[in-house]
Amino acid sequence: MSDPETDGGTAVSEGPDPEPFGGQVGDLYRTVRDHELSVVVGSAVFLLFFPFLLVDGLEVVNGLLGDPGIGGYEGLASLVLIYGIIVVGYNLLLGYTGLLSFGHAAFFGTAAYVTGLVSSTTEISFLGLSATMPGITSPLAMILFGTLFATLLAWPIGFMSIRRSGVYFAVLTLTFGQMLYFFALGPGAGITNGDNGFSDLNVGELFGFINLDGLVPFVGKMEYVFIAVLFLLALTVANRIINSPYGLIFKALGENEQRVEFVGLNVFRYKLMAFVISGSFAGLGGSLFAIHEAFVHPSTALYWIQSGDFVIMTVLGGTGSLVGPVFGAFIFEYISNVISGTTLPVIGQVGSLWRLILGAVFVAIVWVFPRGVYGGLVDIKNFIAGQAVDALRSDESSPPAEPEQGGDD
Amino acid sequence: MGLLEMEGLTKRFSGLTAVDDVDLTVERGETKAIIGPNGAGKSTTINLITGLLEPTAGHVYYDPPDEAAADIHELRTISDEERSADQQQRLDELRSEYSITGLEPHEVVQTGISKSFQTASIFPGMTARENVQMAALATEHGSFKLNFLRRQSSFDAVDEIATEMLEAVDLLRDAGEEAASLPYGDKRRLEIAIALASEPDLLFMDEPTAGMSPEETQATVDLVERLQQELGLTIVLVEHDMEIIFSIADSIAVLNRGAIIADGTPDEVEGDTDVQEAYLGGVEL
Amino acid sequence: MVLETAIEILLNGLQQGAIFALLGIGLSVILGTMDFLNLAHGALYLIGGYAGMYFIRETSLSAGYLNSIGVDAIGLGLGFAAAMILVPVFGFIVGLLMERYVAEPFYDRPETDQLLVTFGLALIVQEVIKGMLGGNTFQPTAPTTLFGINVGGPVMLPIIGNYPQWRLYLVGIALFVIGLTYLVIEKTDFGLVVQAGTHDSEMVRMLGIRINRSYSLVFAMGAALAAFAGLIGVSFQTVSPQIGTERALIPAFLVLVVGGAGSVIGAIFGGFVLGITVAGMTVLASQWAQIVLYAVAAGVLLFRPEGLFGSKGVVE
């Protein structure tokens, strides 16, 4: 556990995990495991099965439990991956660098709007000026614009917010996010269509011939495959970043910011990079969200509750690893979309209580289990594996024969 | 000529003058000690030099060549009003060239000054090796680089520096250990390794033996002496332990209430009545 | 007419500002004294608001758990005067509990953890209220008589004409409480400890003053003020589970930013500055009202981080 008494900075109690096993076998396992290619391939395989597990797999469990309604549905898989992209990037900022932002919806929402706007042909207006949107319907181009915009937005917001630390940093990010929210709702309605929401998205064919509504055998909609590929890309990039000098520096910033400054590194710039990179990831997620939902509204895209949800997902899954937050996204979306429609024992109809449930779990994790759900699963895995290894070791060696020291009784 | 020159260094905090018009020279290759009673302004002075605080007045010069240093000395003795326009211009030129006043701490470190902290200021959740690699990174590629997609494993030079420094402080065998799990003495040595990995010419050591047992203290002193010889460091030491100071310091500067009251060889300082008064019998010399 | 608008803005601003000030004082003092970042402060306002409704009148419920088990209406119907005592007391007790069970375990934990756990707590409180009483919006509960004085209905004011009388009394009551708080902090021994703690809690501890008890009292006082602010809010604004964050927490932090941490005067000043800004913008360009509010806060935070009256270097 990292020492909470750090020399400056705003470290969370749990930074990234140290390695559990030693020894040659452990090394080989780790070499294979950590090798980028195997991570990618392994994830790709899993992603192919994900919708199946979510829908058909859970359907089986659902049946066994007497049909309380816990089965997944196809759109859920896409949502999980979309939020997964966002929180993986967000964790670079929170779990590694130790900066808590309550304003990342700004990048999510802006990208969503830009993605939608770029694909439409409406005329937007603001302060007397007006322009016609280009109607670019290529999904890749739409996403490119959205993510680019989010990244560019993250620069000034990050630049200003990072000037302060701790709660003031959080408050600054919140204010910027809220400013955008109220702008989209009010004065900017000429661009965003305000409270009515923006629905003039036109998603064209990928590469000019692949229809995102088409079906891929076994896996599901083409759109899901598209999202899954981008998720994989995002995961790979994040993994690269963590294994680059940046990973080391971000981690160090979260543990002892002052020391990083004093080894000669420009702390401000690195924090800004962490912020911008996480903003990019949020932007990518926002772009995909717009395509998936085909509708963008300020209250889901830019409101601070969305920012808060990112925090919850990340912490829920566990801030100590690359993929932990993805688990959090899964749990969050599952509870929010599926469990909320079920009737559980004791509680009864869950309905809108799901936020309460999540809130309680969230507090519990912050309080006593900062490694999060994924961290917990890893611990269980290590424990079991450790027991297994011990069992194997004790089988091989026979206990040394010890001559009994007789007493003089 | 001096590696580090302080000219009129002053720091005022609304009402309190913590550092008062300090002029000090640190010669190349020497070990200089800064001593003084608690609250004398030692830490503040160091913070001014390393960029953590901004001075209210005064300048700090680093590594000026002999001629420039001589010019600075000369021009300084002429007061602001009496200086001619040419002289002022020359002084300004010299200042912009060699002054490190007002730089950010990371910039100061990049010019060649490093600091080891009073408490072991390390990265507890990272391995010892990673701790030193952090500093080696900065030495290798400067204060910032857009290399977030390059694989860490391809940074051989960084690894080399890290290994070298760990070896220098005798921590190589513990390189893979999590820093938080190291015993306190090892943490202090790791601290020094981190400071050294910046490959400084000038090293500030803020009370390096604070809270150490006699054996640890002796080991640290030996280490410092060895490092100075092997790496040719200039060391500025803030210490309270007089024995250490008088055994390894080449010169001693005494601060009291923010001002220098003595500055010279150990013998000179020992016999100085002002110094004795400042300490008022609290210290065995 | 310009004068009419100006006075309207001033009056509305005073009401809003009073609430902001009450919230800001509590937050500021808690942050200043214990260095504890309480994102659940808005939840205390929320609790105060709903508790106020409960004490003042009977409220009919149409949603939520209570409603689903047959409870159509709850409330004691004791009137506003009783609520003015009961709500702060209730808030005080909640504050004590919160300090003991939530804040204290986190004093030595990293800042981020404090933010996260109080954020989670705020979420839980909001959701519990929503779950129990339903998520719908309740109308304001303004009293018509108070201590025998007729406070309801409109009153004729020069220049602007008819104005709800209660809202004027409200400002008076709030100012009274604010003034009282100020006196307590400035003039009493307890207040001195709070001030000293704000400047140097280490020192206060060393002087042997039982800082932990003071922490509890400070927290409870902040909570009582927040709850009272909730009561005031309930009397002229709508009530729903979101008001904790939207109308209380965020403004409270903005007040903190503008006024500076640890300063009661700063919180008062900041509260009224922000209150009048919001009122002004709502009247003049309501679309931009919120945006300007946030921009002001961001501006202060960036250019004068210690706030206008801040004492401690809490900011870097």
For residue A1, tell me if it sits in a domain.
Answer: no
Least CB–CB distance from C127: residue in A171, A176, A356 = A356
**What Å distances lie between residue B122 and A13, A257, A330, B81, CA to CA?**
16, 10, 36, 48
pLDDT at A23: 57
C184 confidence band (pLDDT: 50, 70, 90): confident
| Nearest alpha-carbon partner for C48 in C260, C194, C224, C285 | C224
Q: What share of chain C is helix, strand, coil (3-state, %, to 5)?
A: 70, 5, 25
Task: Report CB contact under 8 Å: B198, A259.
Answer: no
Task: Report CB contact under 8 Å: C290, A166.
Answer: no
A264: chain B residues, CB-CB within 8 Å = 106, 109-110, 114, 135, 138-139, 142-143, 198
Over range A32-41, report the average pLDDT.
72
Distance CA A140, CA A205 (A): 9
Burial of A205 (C-beta count, 10 Å sphere; 0-12/13-18/19+) = middle
Residue B62 identity:
Y
**What Å distances lie between residue B210 and B114, B216, B220, B236, B254, CA to CA?**
19, 10, 11, 16, 19
A164: chain C residues, CB-CB within 8 Å = 301-302, 305, 315-316
Q: What percent of chain A shows pLDDT beyond 70?
A: 85
Distance CA A323, CA A87 (A): 9
Q: Provide the pairing of β-strand B2-13 with B57-62.
A: antiparallel
Distance CA C142, CA C152 (A): 7
Query: Dmax over Cα atoms in chain C, in whole Å?
Result: 60
Residue A272's φ and ψ, nearest 5 degrees, are -60, -40
For the ranges A271-275, B77-81, C25-29, C56-60, the lowest mean pLDDT is seen at B77-81
What is the dihedral sign for C-alpha A195, A196, A200, A201?
Answer: positive
Least CB–CB distance from A248: residue in B130, B144, B146 = B130
For residue A54, tell me if it sits in a domain.
Answer: yes
pLDDT above 50 for A9? no
A-proximal residues of B, 185-244, CB under 8 Å: 194, 197-198
Task: Report CB contact under 8 Å: B137, A269.
Answer: no
Q: Which SS3 state, helix, strand or coil, does residue C73 take?
A: strand
Distance CA B35, CA B236 (A): 11
C66 confidence band (pLDDT: 50, 70, 90): confident
Domain B29-53+103-279: CATH class, spelled out: alpha beta
| Nearest alpha-carbon partner for C145 in C166, C164, C172, C171 | C166
CATH number, residue A157: 1.10.3470
- Give the tens place of pLDDT for each residue, A146-180: 999 999 999 999 999 998 888 889 988 998 999 99
C20 vs A166, residue with greater confidence: C20
Over range C239-262, report the average pLDDT.
83
pLDDT above 80 for C316? no
Task: Report CB contact under 8 Å: A273, B148.
Answer: yes
- Give the tens place of pLDDT for each residue, B150-195: 766 557 888 888 888 888 888 888 888 888 898 888 888 898 899 9
B125: chain A residues, CB-CB within 8 Å = 1-2, 15-16, 18, 251, 255
Shortest CA distance from A254: residue in chain B: B123
pLDDT above 60 for B237? yes
Distance CA B24, CA B42 (A): 12
pLDDT at C30: 84
CA C269 to chain centroid, in Å, comes to 14
Residue A382 identity:
N
Token output for B9: 């260094």
Distance CA C94, CA C45 (A): 11
Shortest CA distance from A242: residue in chain B: B148
Least CB–CB distance from B134: residue in A7, A18, A252 = A252
For the ranges A186-190, B204-208, B274-278, C278-282, the lowest mean pLDDT is seen at B274-278
Task: Report CB contact under 8 Å: A244, B148.
Answer: yes
- Give the tens place of pLDDT for each residue, A39-88: 788 888 888 888 888 888 877 777 777 776 676 777 889 999 999 999 99
pLDDT at A218: 78
Look at chain B and count its residues: 285
A5: chain C residues, CB-CB within 8 Å = 108
For residue A396, tell me if it sits in a domain.
Answer: no
Contact between residue C267 and residue C316 where contact means Cβ atoms under 8 Å apart: no
Shortest CA distance from B197: residue in chain A: A263
Buried-state track A48-73, b at ≥16 Cβ within 10 A, e below 16: eebbbebbeebeeebeeeeeeebbbe
B142: chain A residues, CB-CB within 8 Å = 264
| Nearest alpha-carbon partner for A97 in A317, A272, A280, A328 | A272
Looking at the complex, does the CB of residue B10 fall below 8 Å from at least one CB of chain A? Answer: no
User: Could you say which DSSP state residue C139 is in?
Assistant: P
User: Could you say which DSSP state residue B232 is in?
Assistant: -
Task: Report CB contact under 8 Å: A356, C113.
Answer: no
pLDDT at C133: 85
Distance CA A22, CA A25 (A): 8
Q: Provide the pairing of β-strand A343-344 with B16-27.
A: unpaired
C113: chain A residues, CB-CB within 8 Å = 12-13, 366, 370
Q: What percent of chain A shows pLDDT beyond 90?
A: 44
A101 confidence band (pLDDT: 50, 70, 90): very high
- Give the tens place of pLDDT for each residue, A243-258: 888 999 999 999 999 9
Which chain A residues touch B if contact means CB-CB below 8 Å? 1-3, 6-7, 15-16, 18, 237, 240-241, 243-249, 251-252, 255-256, 258-267, 269-270, 273, 277
For residue A190, tell me if it sits in a domain.
Answer: yes
Shortest CA distance from B131: residue in chain A: A252
A5 confidence band (pLDDT: 50, 70, 90): very low
A353 vs A267, residue with greater confidence: A267
Answer whether C touches B (≥3 Cβ pairs < 8 Å): no
pLDDT at A177: 93
pLDDT above 90 for A296? yes
Distance CA C231, CA C179 (A): 17
Beta carbons within 8 Å of A202's beta carbon, 6+ residues apart: A119, A120, A121, A135, A137
| Nearest alpha-carbon partner for B220 in B190, B194, B178, B246 | B190
Domain range for A357 is 23-386
**All chains having 3 or more CB pairs closer than 8 angstroms to chain A:** B, C
**Best residue in B103, B134, B152, B202 to probe A by mutation, most A CBs within 10 Å?**
B134
Token output for C313: 């270097």
Contact between residue C235 and residue C88 where contact means Cβ atoms under 8 Å apart: no
Task: Report CB contact under 8 Å: A265, B155.
Answer: no
Adjacent-strand bridge partners of B27: B2
B262 vs A349, residue with greater confidence: B262
pLDDT at C65: 74
Over range A261-286, report the average pLDDT.
95
Burial of C294 (C-beta count, 10 Å sphere; 0-12/13-18/19+) = buried
Work out the mean pLDDT of chain C and round it to a whole number. 82
pLDDT at A277: 97
Least CB–CB distance from B143: residue in A240, A245, A264 = A264
Answer whether A touches C (≥3 Cβ pairs < 8 Å): yes
**Domain layout of chain B by residue ranges:** 29-53+103-279
Task: Report CB contact under 8 Å: C117, A186.
Answer: no
C57 confidence band (pLDDT: 50, 70, 90): confident
Residue B113's φ and ψ, nearest 5 degrees, are -110, 135
User: Could you say which DSSP state residue B27 is in?
Assistant: E
C37: chain A residues, CB-CB within 8 Å = 166-167
Residue C105 identity:
P
Beta carbons within 8 Å of B149's beta carbon, 6+ residues apart: A237, A240, A241, A244
Distance from CA of A101 to the nearest CA of C (A): 10
A-proximal residues of C, 248-267, CB under 8 Å: 250, 253-254, 257
What spatial distance separates the first Cα and last Cα of chain B, rounded to whole Å?
A: 30
A-proximal residues of B, 108-127, CB under 8 Å: 109-110, 114-115, 117, 119, 121-127
Give the relative orientation of helices C41-56 and C250-259 as an angle to the nearest 10 degrees: 120
Place of tokens 């590594």: B63
pLDDT above 50 for A6? no
Q: What percent of chain B shows pLDDT beyond 70?
A: 95
- Total of domains in chain A: 1
The DSSP code sequence of A212-226 is: TTSEETTTEEHHHHH
C96 confidence band (pLDDT: 50, 70, 90): very high
Adjacent-strand bridge partners of C154: C164
Task: Report CB contact under 8 Å: C123, A355.
Answer: yes
Over range B14-41, report the average pLDDT.
85
pLDDT above 60 for B119? yes
Question: What domains can you pick out in chain C, each with its CATH number?
Answer: 2-303 (1.10.3470)
Distance CA B18, CA A318 (A): 45
pLDDT above 60 for C121? yes
B242, B246, B251, B256: CA torsion to nearest 10: 20
Distance CA B231, CA B198 (A): 12
Looking at the complex, does the CB of residue B145 fall below 8 Å from at least one CB of chain A? Answer: yes
Task: Report CB contact under 8 Å: C305, A183.
Answer: no
Work out the mean pLDDT of chain A and round it to a whole number. 84
Distance from CA of C293 to the nearest CA of A (A): 9
Residue B20's φ and ψ, nearest 5 degrees, are -120, 95
C297: chain A residues, CB-CB within 8 Å = 171, 175
C-alpha radius of gyration, chain C, whole number: 19
pTM: 0.88
Q: What percent of chain B shows pLDDT beyond 90?
A: 9
Cα angle: B201, vertex B206, B209; to 5 degrees: 115
A-proximal residues of C, 171-200, CB under 8 Å: none
